[in-house]
Structure 1
Amino acid sequence: MPMPNIVYEHKELLTLNTRELPIYEDAVPGIPGIDSQPLFIDTHSNVWVLRIIFKPGVLMPVHYHTGTVHLWTLSGKWYYLEYPDQPQTAGCYLYEPGGSVHQFTTPADNTEPTEVIMVVSGANINFDQDGNYLGVLDASEVMSMIDHLIRERGLQPARYITPAGARYSDES
């Protein structure tokens, strides 16, 4: 069997070492205690991969997922308010199908930060406790939040992986 045609020739691996990249502290406006490290943001297919570190006592808004989520817990403990008997701790992997609705929290009595890596397809539609719409969090908004935070704090540009932009097939 012949080798397949090469569509994209890799000149180097697209790889990041999370230990060498900055972690952006208090990265989510209006919700203190959430530090973020973007790893992959694709605004074309609306996929975003983040390393997040939650301090104890964080409560996220209620949110509806338009797509799937894969979430690995590396340290600490968290749970959804809707599922208090299913806490996620270091070593847990969680899959969420699109259409899921829940509210994320880290217990205030956690003895360490909760670190996760999440792969999100689609958007989170956020609501307050009364069901009022708050906004959308998707790949474009994540990119915008990171860019704004960097400009506001005078930091170096973030380094994360993002696919090449759209182009016509006959452009070189």
Structure 2
Amino acid sequence: MLYQQVDTAVTDGASLPWVPLVPYADTILLKYFKLDPIKGEWIVMMKAPMGVQLPKHHHTGTVMVYTIEGQWKYKEHDWTAGPDSIVYETAASSHTYEPVSAGASGYVTTLVQVNGELLFLDENENVIASENWKTSLKRYLAYCEQHGIEAKDLTAFN
């Protein structure tokens, strides 16, 4: 693709499905907006119900989380993120996600920009699974195929 073909674009979120975060937590839903194979970046909305917990995870790159509704925290920190807050996570940070209170939809809803990999850890800090743009793309495409949804090219720049 020539640089002249790359232009500002919009992704219509209403046309994208909410995809369960299987096999980790099928009640956590992700809406994938961008899966960038060049920078290793992935941009998703996440909806998490109360009572769900992900395994502790480690980031190989930076992460920014904007909270839309509800409140959440990391077990290892003493702050709580709520609506209109931004959490900036440094590369090489590790923590355990916990919803604190749901919003009107019954979920904690966030917009997340991840650079690099998210490595799930066991109680001994061993890597038990890895998530990145490519595993996200596989999950998205499998979900679309299973539900008869025409998949969009979330890796494209237009």
Give the aligned CA root-mean-square deviation in angstroms.
2.1
Match of 2:41 among 28, 42, 47: 47
Q: Compared with structure 1, are the counterparts of its residues 74 and 38 closer, same or farther at alpha carbon in structure 2 (3 Å cutoff)? A: same
Counterpart code for 2:156: P
What corresponds to 1:139 in structure 2? 133
What corresponds to 2:53 in structure 1? 59
Contact 1:14–1:161 under 8 Å retained in 2: no
Q: Compared with structure 1, are the counterparts of its residues 64 and 154 closer, same or farther at alpha carbon in structure 2 (3 Å cutoff)? A: same
Counterpart code for 1:8: Q
CA distance in 1, matches of 2:30, 2:151: 11
How many residue pairs get matched?
154
* Aligned-residue offset at 1:160: 5.4
Asked if 1:8 corresponds to 2:4, the answer is yes
Q: Compared with structure 1, are the counterparts of its residues 17 and 154 closer, same or farther at alpha carbon in structure 2 (3 Å cutoff)? A: closer
Higher alpha-carbon Rg? 1
Contact 1:147–1:157 under 8 Å retained in 2: no
Under a length normalisation based on structure 2, what TM-score does the superposition of the two structures give?
Answer: 0.86
What corresponds to 1:88 in structure 2? 81
Counterpart code for 1:7: Y
Structure 1 stretches of 5 or more lacking a match? Answer: 1-5, 165-172
* Aligned-residue offset at 1:140: 0.6
Asked if 1:105 corresponds to 2:98, the answer is yes
Q: Compared with structure 1, are the counterparts of its residues 8 and 91 closer, same or farther at alpha carbon in structure 2 (3 Å cutoff)? A: same
Contact 1:32–1:58 under 8 Å retained in 2: no
* Aligned-residue offset at 1:91: 0.7
Q: Secondary structure at the match of 1:89?
A: coil
Asked if 1:74 corresponds to 2:46, the answer is no
More strand by proportion, 1 or 2?
A: 2
Per-residue deviation, residues 112-142 of structure 1 (Å, max 9, x unmatched): 3111111111001111233232111111111
What corresponds to 1:23 in structure 2? 18
Asked if 1:163 corresponds to 2:156, the answer is yes
Match of 1:36 among 26, 30, 35: 30
CA distance in 2, matches of 1:163, 1:16: 11
* Aligned-residue offset at 1:104: 0.6
Contact 2:57–2:96 under 8 Å retained in 1: yes
